[in-house]
A and B are shown apart, each in its own frame.
Chain A
Amino acid sequence: MSDSTAISNSAAAEAGDSHHGEHPPYQRHHFETVDQQFDATNFAMWLFLLTEVMFFGGLFTAYLIMRNWYYPAFVEGSHQLSIFWGTANTAVLILSSFTMAMGVWSAETRRKGALVLCLSLTFVLGLVFLGIKTIEYHEKWEKHHVPGLNWSDASFLNPASDPEVHKDYPGDQPLQPDMAQKTEMYFFLYFAMTGMHALHMIIGISILGFMIVRARAGAYTTGHVTYVENFGLYWHFVDIVWIFLFPLLYLISRH
C-alpha cells in the first residue's frame, strides 16, 4: 500500500508542475490532501500542549504538597491576594477565549473584517489581563512580599500590622517564626506559577500581533485556517491553566 502510494507520487512529480493546479497553494507537497495536512498539524499542536500540561503539572504538584506541609503559612499567604482582581482577571481571560474562538469561526467562514476585529479584541483583553497582574505584582512589591528580592515576614508574625488584610480576616493568628518563614514558599510558588502563566500570555500576545498584521493582508481567510486554529488551541490552554490557578491560589484558603 505504502509502496504503491510512493510510486504514484513520484510519477506525478515526474509529470512536472502540472499537478500544482490540482491542490490549493497552501498544501505542502509531502501531504496527500489538505485534510491530512490539517490533521497532522493539529495532532502536533496537541502533542506540544501535552508537554505544557506536564510542565505546569509539576508546578501544581509542588503547590499541592507544599500546601499540605505548611498549611497555616499557605492559608495566611493566600489571604494577601485580592479576590476582586483575581475574579476580574478570570472574567477577562474567559472573554478573550471567547473572542479567540470567534476568530477561528471568522477564519473558517472567510470573514476578514470579523477576523481582524476578533484577533484585536483578544490582543487587547490579553493586555488588560497583564495590566491587572501588574497592579497585583506592584502591591506585593510595596508590601515586601516578593521572595528573595524584597521580603518581610511582618504581615504573618503579626497580622494586626497589616490592617487592610486583617479587617477581612480577623481570625488570622500570628504564626510562629518557623511557620511564618514558609509564607515565602507560598509567594515563591505564587510568582512561579502566575509568572510562567504571564510569560505564556506575553508570547501569545506577541504572536497575536503578528497574526493581526497577516490577517489584515488576508492571510487566514483563504480556507487555510490551520495557523489560527492551532494558535486558538494554545490560547485556550493558557486560559485553562488560569482556570485552575485562580481557585487554588485565591479562593480555597478562605475557609
Chain B
Amino acid sequence: MSEHNQQFEQKEEHDQEHHIVSPVIYLVILLALLVGTGLTVWASYIDLGEWHIAPGLTLFWNPAVALAIACTKMVLVVLFFMHVKYSTKLTKLTVASGLFTFLVLIGMTMADYFSRAWGRW
C-alpha cells in the first residue's frame, strides 16, 4: 500500500519534470545573450575607473563589470538552455555543488596567493 503511494507520488513528480521549454523562451534568452554580448563589448570601450576600498585593495570596474555580465549570461544558459530551472532537485544540487567546488578552487588558491607575503610588503 505504502509502496503503491510512493510510486504514485513519483509518477506525479515526473509529470512536472518533463517540461518542454517553449521556443518563445529560447528566443527571449537568445536575444538577452546577444544584448549582454553587445553590452560587455560597449562597456570595455569605456574607462569605468576604480574603487579604492582600502589601502592596497582596489576594485577595477572594467573587469568586474565584464565578469558580472558573463556570470549573468552563464546563469541564463544554465537555467533555460540547459533546463536546470525545470530539472529535478538532484540536478539542481549537482549544478550548485559544481559551482561551489569551482569557487573553492578559485577562492583557496587566491587566499594562498594573497596571504603568502602578508605584512611583508
Contacts and interface: CB of A to CB of B under 8 A. Distances in A.
Interface of A: 1, 4, 33, 35, 39, 42-43, 46-47, 49-50, 53-54, 57-58, 60-61, 64-65, 68, 83, 87, 90-91, 94-95, 97-98, 100-102, 105, 108-109, 229, 232-233, 236-237, 239-240, 243-244, 246-248, 251-252, 254-255
Interface of B: 3, 10, 14, 17-18, 20-23, 26-27, 29-30, 33-34, 37, 40-41, 44-48, 62-63, 66-67, 69-70, 73-74, 77-78, 80-83, 87-88, 90-91, 94-95, 97-99, 101-102, 105-106, 109-110, 113
A35 B102 contact: no
A33 B94 CA distance: 22
A53 B98 contact: yes
A61 B77 contact: no
B63 A252 contact: yes
B106 A50 contact: no
Contacts of B109: 61, 65
A237 B82 CA distance: 9
Contact of B44 (A95, A97, A254): A254
Contacts of A4: 3
Nearest to A84: B41
Given A65-B109, A97-B77, A98-B26, A247 B94 contact: no
Contacts of B74: 240, 243-244
A97 B80 CA distance: 11
Given A105-B26, A252-B63, 8 more contacts: A50-B101, A57-B106, A90-B37, A97-B81, A232-B81, A236-B82, A239-B81, A240-B73
